[in-house]
Amino acid sequence: MQTRQLGSTGLHVSQIGFGGMPLSITGRPAKSEALKILHASLRAGVTLIDTADVYCLDQSDIGHNERLIAEALATWDGDAPVSVATKGGLSRPGGAWVTDAHPRRLKSACEASLKALRVPALTLYQLHAVDDAVPIEDSVGALADLRRAGKIVHIGLSNVGVAEIRRAQAVAPIVSVQNRCSVFDRRDFNNGVVALCAAEHLTYLAYSPVGGGRGKARVAEDATLKAVGARHGVSPFQVALAWLLVKSPAIVPIPGASKITSAIDSAAAGNLTLTAEDLATLDQAFPT
């Protein structure tokens, strides 16, 4: 699998990352199976794993996915360097998803993530979402403080638009943006976010790139994706991921998986070369 640079950091990661969320939320696999899924993804060449403190069942389960990833890496016998990106700025009271990006919350969340991931510094720490009750300048300012303290190396944003990216950049260096993006969710191609990332060498981490838990059936059943996949002998999921890679050199899709076969299939999309005919067909079906 080829690599792409993570922002302007000089750090290279696999073209296809792995989103850890499905391994820790409702319906998650057993721990032993989850570790096998992570190891299968790593064996397939993935070197970027995305997580968050709130990938869990509820507030009492905070850090579940981070701890799982730490154990997977500790028991991994490969020698390729693996980068882990995590996030702070949400909480899970009663299983709900609640924005909480106050500086005090972010600093305590960072400390908890350091402990859960068993690392002295977080490679990429992302603001999970903008808090309507807290100016983004204050939230990113807290991340800048953590960076100066050596607790995080790079700062990223998630669930943001162009204006919010600009406001954050005025406070601290930003290396990545993580937003929802897929063949069926193309808004960031039209609102300037992907173009901004490409122009300013920010990595665009596309989450739910094959529709997420609810949308994956739509990808699996789409006639265009199936037809292109049939020409190459691959799944429609691989086609959807390869399409994102072609659309911008800034994009790194981070599909999740709750099955070993899905993890391996997604990773293989980095090796799929779409033809000019394929791209014409896909761009007609999924205009940006």
**Whole-number Å distance between alpha carbons of 216 and 224:** 15
Cα 113–chain centre separation: 16
Strand-by-strand arrangement of the 122-127 sheet: 18-19, 48-50, 83-88, 122-127, 152-158, 176-180, 203-207, 251-253
Does the active-site annotation cover 207? no
Question: How many CB atoms sit inside 10 A of residue 173's CB?
Answer: 14
Identify the active-site residue in 55, 125, 204, 207.
55
In 184-268, at which residue ranges do the beta strands (DSSP E only) sit? 203-207, 251-253
Whole-Å CA distances, 45 to 16, 42, 97, 232: 9, 5, 32, 21
**3-state DSSP helix/strand/coil percent for the chain, to nearest 5?**
45, 15, 35
Cα-Cα-Cα-Cα torsion 32, 38, 41, 43, nearest 10 degrees, comes to: -80
**Whole-number Å distance between alpha carbons of 67 and 79:** 20
Do residues 22 and 51 make contact, with C-beta atoms less than 8 angstroms apart?
no
Do residues 44 and 267 make contact, with C-beta atoms less than 8 angstroms apart?
yes
Q: Point out the residues that are catalytic.
A: 55
